Amino acid sequence: MADHNALPLVILAEKFASLPGIGMKSAQRLAYHVMSMETAAVEEFAQALIDAKKNVRSCSCCQNLTEREICPICDDSERDKSVICVVESPKDVTAFERTREYNGVYHVLHGLLSPMDGITPDKLRVKELLARIAQGAVEEVIMATNPTVEGDATAMYVANLLKPLGIKVTRLAFGLPVGGILEYADEITLFKALENRNDM
Amino acid sequence: MADHNALPLVILAEKFASLPGIGMKSAQRLAYHVMSMETAAVEEFAQALIDAKKNVRSCSCCQNLTEREICPICDDSERDKSVICVVESPKDVTAFERTREYNGVYHVLHGLLSPMDGITPDKLRVKELLARIAQGAVEEVIMATNPTVEGDATAMYVANLLKPLGIKVTRLAFGLPVGGILEYADEITLFKALENRNDM
């Protein structure tokens, strides 16, 4: 925005533009939209940003984002703790929960291996997964990373760590469109992929 | 998001989804992105929202958004105060300033007439325009609303108010693609439209 624009608006537009998928033009529109919102609504928005950052942490068990020490899934006595579904991100947990067909628990890696981008195994929550398995109750680990190069590499890496421990390691069936993004799969495709999982 | 998600994240995603042009899926992604930002950056974002809403007001002269009592354009002694370009919104001022060819001043209506949506003349900053003209120094008013039904109706309405006062009222030349949005016109088209403006 040119310098005839009010500085706080320019700053706000820049903040919006720093978010993924929002260009400068949209950011400007959003900043103008904020001006037309009620003061109370703007304050609630600001508070929601701060609350989410301050009050949401990783579950000490599965590493999914939660506001408690242990997330509701890990804390649910009805869930089968002997099966762990390993995913890249919290979005993927949401995708699986939508199928309403999975009754095990999760482990969120918070990323995929990508040595070119400096994402080595120590950057992922792999240690935490090994610690859970060391407790002994786990029978199967389902590798549910995206069917991409990084997703496959990560699944292979984790599988190679776990197999010597005598854990059954499976991979989602390639009912998923190869090269696609797990998060956008429809419920049935995702359920089929879960049902036809293979040993690896 | 399902109820296994942390509540502050659900609330934040809803806030993002309440903004124009952001769906629930994008809003969820943005909320997760905020989790990966530094705490200081999140606090700056929250502060930018509050500052923009608190410190930006309408210029008491042209009604454009500014952090001062009088905006830099109205306050600039080099600008020709005898020509007022009437626009729908602050975004349009930015578009004209990009042409670098206009040396008059602006008047921002903050909307267009749309009786179906309850936007009647009293909802626009028309009174403020009449008050400026009553001060006597204005020779020409350029109606620079979008070339749409609402834009044309608003231009006609304002023109009919001003012509009995002996003010020259012009309309942007229809070099603009009819039905288009002023904000997206390129500089040259907008400059041509300004240069070929017609009496109305």
Supply the DSSP symbol for B114. B
Both tokens assigned to B82: 């005898």
% of chain A surpassing 90 pLDDT? 56
Q: What is the pLDDT of residue A136?
A: 84
Q: Strands A140-143 and A65-66, how do they pair?
A: unpaired
Q: Do B93 and A20 touch (CB under 8 A)?
A: no
Nearest to A107 by CA among A90, A121, A119: A90
List of chain A residues whose C-beta atoms are within 8 Å of the C-beta of residue B67: 6-8
Dihedral Cα A28, B51, A21, A53, nearest 10 deg: -170
B134 strand-pairing partners: none
State the pLDDT at residue B154. 94
How high is the pLDDT of residue A4?
Answer: 66
Contact assessment for residue B74 and residue B108, using Cβ atoms and an 8 Å cutoff: no
Q: What fold, for B7-55? A: Helicase, Ruva Protein; domain 3 (1.10.8)
Of B4, B8, B64, the CB nearest to A56: B8
pLDDT band, very low/low/confident/very high, at A148 (cuts 50, 70, 90) = confident
Whether A10 has its CB under 8 Å from any CB of chain B: the answer is no
pLDDT at A2 over 60: no
ipTM: 0.74
Model confidence band, residue A159 (pLDDT cutoffs 50, 70, 90): very high
Q: What is the pLDDT of residues B92-151, one digit of tens each?
A: 998 888 888 899 999 999 999 998 888 898 989 999 999 999 988 899 999 999 878 899
**pLDDT for the residue A87:** 95
The strand pairing partners of B65, in sequence order, are: B58
The verdict on a CB contact (< 8 Å) between A52 and B31 is yes
pLDDT < 50: residue spans in chain B: 1-2
Quote the distance between the C-alpha of residue B95 and its chain's center. 10
Contact A97/B2, CB-based, under 8 Å? yes
Please give the model's pTM, rounded to 2 decimal places.
0.72
| Helix (H), strand (E) at residue B12 | helix B7-17
CA R_g for chain B: 20
pLDDT of residue A169: 93
Integer angstrom CA distances of residue B4 from A65, A72, B90: 10, 6, 42
Q: What is the pLDDT of residue B95?
A: 86
Residues of chain A in contact with residue B50, where contact means CB-CB under 8 angstroms, are 42-43, 46
Chain A CA closest to residue B106: A4
B33 touches A at CB < 8 Å: yes
Domain locations in chain A as residue ranges: 7-55, 78-199
Please say if the pLDDT value at position A1 is more than 50.
Answer: no
Mutating which of A9, A18, A102 best tests the B interface, going by the most B Cβ atoms within 10 A? Answer: A9
A141 closest CA partner among A165, A174, A111: A165
B78-199 is classed in which CATH architecture? 3-Layer(aba) Sandwich (3.40)
Which of the two residues, A191 and A167, has the higher pLDDT score? Answer: A167
How far apart are the C-alpha atoms of A84 and A133, rounded to whole Å?
Answer: 9
- What pLDDT is attached to residue B1? 40
Range name among A43-52, A102-111, A156-165, A171-180 with the lowest pLDDT average: A171-180
pLDDT at B181: 77
Element of type H or E holding B187: helix B187-195
